[in-house]
Amino acid sequence: MGMQQIIEQKLESAFSPEFLAVENETHMHNVPPDADSHFKVTVVTNEFKDLMLIKRHRLVNKVLEDEIQQIHALALHTFTNDEWFEKAGKVVASPPCEGGGK
């Protein structure tokens, strides 16, 4: 099972989200295509209600504790159901890779 599927399963199990998207963005970076090293995650759940952004991210990071040790980048977009509705289901696109040393 690939890293993307592991991340999806763990987040689905932990949060039962209204919406979940795990995007493998490894292809946007200067690494081998099979590196499975860069991911963008969007999680929509009312479990985030009344939590500051940092607390939401800490919850996700705790669930993905083992996986974070194996990947290079994890972009998190965490919303409640109402916040997701207000954004019309849109998240910011990831910026282009600038390389590690630039």
pLDDT of 14-47, one tens digit each?
Answer: 999 999 999 988 777 777 767 787 899 999 999 9
Task: Name the band, by pLDDT with cuts 50, 70 and 90, for residue 101.
Answer: very low
Q: Would the pLDDT of 58 be above 80?
A: yes
Structure tokens at 43: 């999680």
Residue 7, pLDDT score: 96
Residue written as token pair 């295509």: 33
What is the domain range of residue 49? Answer: 3-86
Total domains, the chain: 1
CATH number of the domain enclosing 8: 3.30.300.90
Q: Model pTM?
A: 0.84
Closest CA to 79 of 69, 67, 66, 92: 92
Neighbours of 62 (CB within 10 A): 10
Residue 67, pLDDT score: 94
Residue 94 lies in a domain: no
Distance from C-alpha of 95 to C-alpha of 17, rounded to nearest angstrom: 26
Residue 99 lies in a domain: no
